[in-house]
Amino acid sequence: MDSKIRCGWVNLKNPRSIRYHDEEWGRPLHDEQKHFEFLMLESFQAGLSWETILNRREGFRNAFADFDAQKIAKYTDKEVKQLLENPNIIRSRLKIVSAIENAKIFLMIQKEWGSFDRYIWHFTEGKIIDHHPKTLKDLPARNLLSEIISQDLRKRGMKFIGPVIVYAHLQAIGVVNDHVEQCFCRSAKV
């Protein structure tokens, strides 16, 4: 075990949690497939712990065509049935069907904006919002920005995409930097 100080939500006994925090969370992201992956995983996380999702991430990757929105958008009732029988993912019919519909909306946003990345980062004009939280207690579950974005995404037809999920997405993709002040990621080169 290393001596690095990390954000308090990281389970130091779970290598997946450590790796996700150290290598992905809060780092500015501009990859379309990763955007969709994070949106999908965050929507499946609703009502569950993030660690539950991280532990099934590979199962999701295999079940959902490596998070390829174009392939997922074409899923039919046959694929839904298979997914509902897959023990390696969260088997919620509502979340599975929403993931398929959300893939279609994601593709529509890409077409309209040129990329989902351009769409999501335009809300801050490409700037990172740095909160400088001292502890986890200083982190909001949502904010005005996540309210605005989730409202826009729901208006477009996305499901399981409320302001808490959107805020988690903004944190994950680095639009919002919520690494606590003592976290080594604050001084790491991103």
Q: State the catalytic residues.
A: 20, 42, 50
CA separation for the pair 150, 38 (Å, rounded) = 15
- The radius of gyration computed from the CA coordinates of the chain, to the nearest angstrom, equals 16
152 sits in which H/E element: helix 144-156
CA separation for the pair 30, 117 (Å, rounded) = 6
Q: What is the DSSP string of 76-116?
A: -HHHHHHHHT-TTS---HHHHHHHHHHHHHHHHHHHHHSSH
